[in-house]
Amino acid sequence: MIIITGATGFIGSNIVADLNARGRTDLLLVDDLGTQGKWKNIAKRRFLDLIDYRDVDTLLRRLPGKADAVFHMGANSSTTSTDGDEILRVNLHASMFWWNWCTRTSTPLIYASSAATYGDGSQHFNDDQNLEALEKLAPLNLYGWSKHQFDKWAVERASEGNCPPQWAGMKFFNVYGPNEYHKGDMRSLVAKNTELIARGETIKLFKSHKDGYADGAQLRDFVYVKDCTAAMLWLMGNSIPSGLFNMGTGKARSFVDLMNAIGSALGQNVNIDFVDMPESIRHIYQYFTESNSEKLNSLGALGLAYSLEDGVCDYVNSYLSKVDQYR
């Protein structure tokens, strides 16, 4: 059995799709369906059971004595959330539960961390799991703080030998791809703007308010979800050193590049209007993020199949341009 938490969400449902494609249907899914249509993310999937993560009694009864792996993707991933108690319960304590269960049952654990742990990037984007290096990071929002707290907790437990036989904390950068539609305003700019560009409408990007960056030239490490899931399934199937791993392309690209990639996929010209960034976020806005992907590369786990243009083209033409947009 393989257990996937957050299984009806964005990355989780793509893991389920990849596992089904490999013939694995012995999957225990843990999540809630909510009211955002997340059921559509798994409508084509085969699995043993789907358990609401809040139904602890049923979950505990269904857990096996050991699993082949746990993919813990469940979290409140909103970077604008201000509900500290929910973040504590869903992002931190639930992660501790799965870590302890995997430790007790000798089950490998792959969990979702985030590039939000790096804060403003002043300490660079190196997936150094030395506690001294981790203590220097200062996340800018509650979501990033919760992921960072668990990373530190995990590293401390591992240093004591109190850890799963294999574990990997994936520091996801800017992930985009199919099955993100329920995320509302947290969807990628590809999901938000493809239809607008297809209709020939003008799209809006933030002006730059920092010297050295042109309007729309702010840089992000955009990584296609299929590359993320491929790397995690590779980790599950190979015995490698445990630790924290950046999950990005290692090449920052601009928002203008991203929009032009959509236009190229559609065969459309892209019209952009640059608008002022809200005053409320200017002081915490990141102008540059780029994964240092050397650690995963050195293991052979990061055989990226998609450049920015290739990933956007696949997303736009295989999903966003279809009546059925779901994987």
Active site residues: 143, 183
How far lies 260's CA from each of 209, 220, 263, 265, 309, in Å? Answer: 22, 15, 5, 9, 9
- Please state, in angstroms and rounded to a whole number, the distance separating the CA atoms of residues 216 and 170: 28
Q: State whether residue 230 is helix, strand or coil.
A: helix
Beta strands in the chain (DSSP E): 2-5, 27-30, 49-51, 69-72, 109-114, 167-172, 174-176, 203-206, 219-220, 222-224, 243-247, 253-254, 272-275
What's the sign of the alpha-carbon dihedral 284, 289, 294, 299?
positive
CA distance 184 to 180: 8
Across the strands, what pairs with 190?
none
Distance of alpha carbon 289 from alpha carbon 296, whole angstroms? 17
State whether residue 254 is helix, strand or coil.
strand
